[in-house]
Amino acid sequence: MRKLLVFSLLIIVFLIFAVNNVLAQGMQFDGFLESYYSIKLKDDHDFIGERSRFRLNLRNSSDNMYMFASLNGVSNGIIEDDELEVEIHEAYLEYTRPLWDVKIGRQIYSWGKADGVRITDVLSPCDYSEYITRDFDEIRIPVDSVKYRYLFPMADLELVWIPTFTEPVYPEDEDNPWYVSRQDNITINPAEEVEDELGNSELAARLSFYLNGIDFSFSTAYLWDDEAVYHKTGTTFTPEYHRLRFYGLDLSKPVNDFVIRFESAYYQGKYFSADSYGLLERDYVHSLAGLDWYPGNNWTVTTQYINKHIFDYEDEIEEDESQDTLTLSISKKLFREVLEVKNMVYYEPDEQDGFNRISIDYAVNDNFHFLTGIDYFFGNEGEFANYDDNDSLWVKVKYDF
């Protein structure tokens, strides 16, 4: 099967280059090859990460038309038994006019100003099969959609229609080292699927302003909650997805050597698990305040405070009424920016748990990067503490072409 997929890939690459030569219209290609390996620092030092990935991007433009397509291939020796999976990652056609454009196809959306945290970034679901050990740019799942944008002198308006719901990906296999064991003596059914019907579409809009010294956006959406809630019948639980209304704000303002960032989202109609009631519908707000500091000499310091607050709270709700998270990132580029050393920390003060990634990125040349680092989880309670056994040393090599 793998040989057939590799052969098909080679045929596709050959045809793309052939079309490029025939059209002679400036067809452009780029992409990357990447390999990643991660080994536990505790217990038996098993591999908990072993994947190879390639990306082939194809783009072309003519007059008012622009086309982009990307092919993604992944071989994951831990989660997918080393099978090579090849799929279309993004593929869309864009038509542009002086004051507006429309984009149709499979697209990735990245809204907001947050770094490593999702606040108003709600349109593209994520693949959490390896938790947060991968960058958000890598784990966002593309969605089939239509985006219309109108350009004002100092602002633009985006309207998005997503006709079908795309589920996020979570570790469901007990052999996955990122799987979190559940309570014994219960049965978990497969999640109830959201039917592909027009009435189940997702709609979103964002109005972004670009003024002198400040950027800010207002956004809203009527969408499906990516987090399925568990409906209980005896000892059987069935995950179901529910609708949400979302209202968001984000802004960014540079001040001397600093950049001030703020982002907030109000979610209406979220279902929370509750001890006595089963489920309770409540609104909540998710906010972030961030500060980026660029003191010079290739230093970058970024800190963020994140809060999630549930309104009309009752003690039966399994989540805390207010949840805080702090992040701190410090990076330094050395040797004429060839080497970057970075330390990124997530910390939950209420639970006193967290995640720390220390990494080194060495640019051998403009195309080839060698990266290595340590992932460290700590704490006795909380989300990060679930992965305390997954402290690891990892290595990644990436070649861009």
- Inter-residue contact 160 to 142 (CB < 8 Å): no
Q: Which residues pair with 271 in a beta bridge?
A: 281
Question: For residue 145, what pLDDT is reported?
Answer: 97
pLDDT of residue 277: 62
Residue 183: exposed, middle, or buried by beta-carbon count in 10 A (0-12, 13-18, 19+)?
exposed
Q: What pLDDT score was predicted for residue 185?
A: 76
Helix, strand, coil percent values for the chain (each to nearest 5):
10, 60, 35
pLDDT on residue 276:
66
Token pair recorded at residue 132: 């947060």
pLDDT at 324: 97
What pTM was estimated for this model as a whole? 0.88
Provide the residue-wise pLDDT of the chain in tens; the chain has 401 residues.
444 444 444 444 444 544 455 444 568 999 999 999 999 998 888 999 999 999 999 999 988 999 999 999 999 988 877 688 899 999 999 999 999 999 999 999 999 999 999 999 999 999 999 988 888 778 999 999 999 999 999 999 999 999 999 999 998 888 889 988 877 777 888 888 899 999 999 999 999 999 999 999 999 999 999 999 988 887 788 899 999 999 999 999 999 999 999 999 999 999 999 886 689 999 999 999 999 999 999 999 999 999 999 999 999 999 999 999 999 999 999 999 999 999 999 999 999 999 999 999 999 999 999 999 999 999 999 999 999 999 999 999 999 99
Concatenated DSSP letters of 298-367: TEEEEEEEEEEEESS--TTBSS-SEEEEEEEEEEEEETTTTEEEEEEEEEETTTTEEEEEEEEEEESSSS
Contacts of 177-182 spanning 24+ positions with Cβ under 8 A: 177/40, 177/46, 177/48, 177/78, 177/390, 178/48, 178/128, 178/129, 178/130, 178/131, 178/387, 178/390, 180/386
**What pLDDT, on the 0 to 100 scale, is given for residue 189?**
84
CB atoms within 10 A of CB 107: 21
Q: In what order do the strands lie in the sheet with 187-188?
A: 187-188, 236-240, 229-233
